[in-house]
Structure 1
Amino acid sequence: MMIPTIPTPDELLDKGFRRGKKNADLMRSQKKIPKHLKGKRIEEARVVTACQVIKDKLKSIIDSVPIIEELPEFYQDYIDITVSVDDLKQALGGLNWAFGILTQLEKEYGGKIRNNPSDKASMFQKQAYGRIASVVNKIKKDLDFLDFAKQSLRNMPTVDFDAITIVIAGFPNVGKSTLLRQITGADPQVANYPFTTKGIQIGHTERRWQEIQIIDTPGLLDRPVLEMNDIELNALIALEHLADAILFIFDASETCGFTLESQFNLFVQIEKVFNEIPIIALFNKMDLIDGDEYTQQYIDAFEDSILISAMEGEGLDKINETIDKIQKISREQT
């Protein structure tokens, strides 16, 4: 969502009044206007132009923001998590209010200048400018908020809603980024995502002539759900709108600093949040493991767990087979 540069009230007024003066000067240079009407035409041009210039800028800002309810649910949640949809609508409402009042002032003072003696024109122009300035200054907080929204949403991830989407989960240092690069064969796109520590990572690959989108969210799906606040839980819901499946990565070697028991507990919590989405268990760093009962008990807890070494590229064929199955299920559902 591209929000244009948001001016301050002073910048809006300066632009409007400068353009008003320019048009007034052009009107002053017109020799065909009768002398007894020229003063009124000059001041009317000043007021009408100032109103129209400011209104045009406000309208361009309002029109640049799409109707939130028409966006995909992921983006609706993303915007709500980042800046609050209600606050965004309220700020846009402030600009709409100002647009309406300026339209009234343009008509009211244009009429007063036209319908009164010439010696009153300058007085009405000054009154109009005072009221225009008052209206614009009243939406300062709305302009400030929209500037904040522009900055906050400038790195909103570009998501392909037609692609099969797989979300990666697991504690830090279990090999998520390594696996993402192995599957996609390239460095992923990195963009800000609310309440992640490093920014969402999106990689793309193609299987059976269909785009596959792999998403990793460092700082979100790598810690206990019970420790998250309400806003972070909403961020999980946003991901739920995207995910066709989740790859949950266990570090079988525990060199990530988390025990398999802790990792299993995180899996259970995420499974509760994404209760309608298939979650595939991957046991990574198996090249560091000599078969033992401790590790095997966690592997055996899953019917279809996949043993891999992301660093060595081992087990990728099984992951690709799983992705093929996800594709097939997705096609059947659509």
Structure 2
Amino acid sequence: MFIPTIPTPEEVLDKSFSRAKKAANKVRGSKIPRHQKSKKTEEARIKTACQVTQETFNTILEKVPKVEDLNMFYQDYIDVVVGVDQFKKSLGALKWASELIAKFENQYVFKMRRSSSENASNVRKEAFGRLASVVYRIEDELNFLDFAKQKLRNMPTIDFDATTAVIAGFPNVGKSTLLRQLTSAEPKVADYPFTTTGIQIGHIEHKWMPYQFIDTPGLLDRPVDDMNEIELNAMVALEHLADLVFFIFDASETSGFPLESQMKLYHGIKSIFNTPIQCVFNKMDLVEDTTLVDKYIEQLDNPIKLSAVEGIGVSELITKMEEFKNEKK
């Protein structure tokens, strides 16, 4: 999400007053009659300072996308990371300030034209004082928008036209390896404040159709009961993306997580997501006695068995994505 540079109140006013001074110098160098020059000079300073301040705020408002026009994933993303209500409130404050300053401009230009030449500087000083007061009144909102710019600058780029699978499962069950096998490339890693280590996104095109795989380390790899409110809200945001969830089991238990614990995590994720979940048993090449694994496989609906590190069975996941896409048509 693009947010332009957010200035401090001091920077806004320095820019406005500097431009106003240049405008005044231009008037002083013109051929206006001497008896009118002081009023015209101060009027130019008022108009320029107000207009430059309005332009500064309006430029920000024009460049920041409207939250309600964004995909629901990004709306939830913004809400989790910085808070949608505060974000809208801060943008609203800039709009309020811009509109009020426009009224000041008309008010003080009218007042200047009715004042005497001797009083012109006092009218301008009063106008500048009120202008500065308005700008400083929204200092907190400017600070918040600058904070939001930093937090949202690396928002993940999502292909909303692609059929998307979100990958879940405990750490070290082979999710990153699987992602690399699926996409035949190093996953793109982006800063993603929902999670502790970043989001991984892999893309492929299969039979001229786009597919997208997303892993969120630090989020879908821990019990739901251990999640805080922000993380639970993040899961809601992910649900806007997911057409399908691949839940990865480590059949060998070499990750350090017993199958019983992995099954509990699966049921926890399933209780939160309304999205279809496809179970995948990875590291089958490391399983010598399948007795234990079979007990868990029997509890699930058509799980896929594979070895991501050897690339065995990985194509079945792409086939499953293709079948799922066709079923949705």
Pairing 1:179-198 to 2, within 5 Å after superposition: 179-198=178-197
Aligned pairs, number: 329
TM-score for the superposition, normalised by structure 2: 0.98
Partner of residue 258, structure 1 = 257
> In 2, Cα distance between the equivalents of 1:85 and 1:318?
40
Partner of residue 19, structure 2 = 19
Pairing 1:48-67 to 2, within 5 Å after superposition: 48-67=47-66
Task: Specify the code of the residue in structure 2 equivalent to 1:286.
Answer: M
Contact 2:169 2:262 in 1 (8 A): yes
Unaligned runs of 5+ in 1: none
SS at match of 1:202: strand
Partner of residue 37, structure 1 = 36
Partner of residue 308, structure 1 = 306
Using the TM superposition, give the Cα deviation of residue 8 of structure 1 relative to its aligned residue in structure 2, in angstroms. Answer: 0.3
Farther-moved stretch of structure 1 (295-304 vs 21-30) = 295-304
TM-score for the superposition, normalised by structure 1: 0.96
> In 2, Cα distance between the equivalents of 1:209 and 1:278?
24
Using the TM superposition, give the Cα deviation of residue 320 of structure 1 relative to its aligned residue in structure 2, in angstroms. Answer: 2.1
Partner of residue 129, structure 1 = 128
> In 2, Cα distance between the equivalents of 1:157 and 1:257?
31
Partner of residue 119, structure 1 = 118
The reply to whether residue 82 of structure 1 matches residue 84 of structure 2 is no
Using the TM superposition, give the Cα deviation of residue 280 of structure 1 relative to its aligned residue in structure 2, in angstroms. Answer: 1.0
> In 1, Cα distance between the equivalents of 2:38 and 2:188?
60
> In 2, Cα distance between the equivalents of 1:289 and 1:79?
43
Using the TM superposition, give the Cα deviation of residue 193 of structure 1 relative to its aligned residue in structure 2, in angstroms. Answer: 2.2
> In 1, Cα distance between the equivalents of 2:128 and 2:316?
71
Contact 1:194 1:235 in 2 (8 A): no
> In 2, Cα distance between the equivalents of 1:73 and 1:292?
43
> In 2, Cα distance between the equivalents of 1:66 and 1:328?
33
Partner of residue 165, structure 2 = 166
Report % sequence identity.
Answer: 56
SS at match of 1:255: coil
Task: Specify the code of the residue in structure 1 equivalent to 2:139.
Answer: K
Partner of residue 7, structure 2 = 7
Contact 1:168 1:247 in 2 (8 A): yes
> In 2, Cα distance between the equivalents of 1:167 and 1:122?
65
Partner of residue 317, structure 1 = 315
Residues 79-119 of structure 1: CA deviation (Å, up to 9, x unaligned): 11111110011111211121122111111111111121111
Partner of residue 280, structure 1 = 278
Contact 1:200 1:215 in 2 (8 A): yes
Partner of residue 138, structure 1 = 137
Contact 2:4 2:64 in 1 (8 A): no
Partner of residue 217, structure 1 = 216
Using the TM superposition, give the Cα deviation of residue 271 of structure 1 relative to its aligned residue in structure 2, in angstroms. Answer: 0.9
Shift >2 Å, 4+ stretches: 192-195
Using the TM superposition, give the Cα deviation of residue 194 of structure 1 relative to its aligned residue in structure 2, in angstroms. Answer: 2.8
Using the TM superposition, give the Cα deviation of residue 128 of structure 1 relative to its aligned residue in structure 2, in angstroms. Answer: 1.0
The reply to whether residue 242 of structure 1 matches residue 241 of structure 2 is yes
> In 1, Cα distance between the equivalents of 2:290 and 2:82?
49
> In 1, Cα distance between the equivalents of 2:301 and 2:92?
54
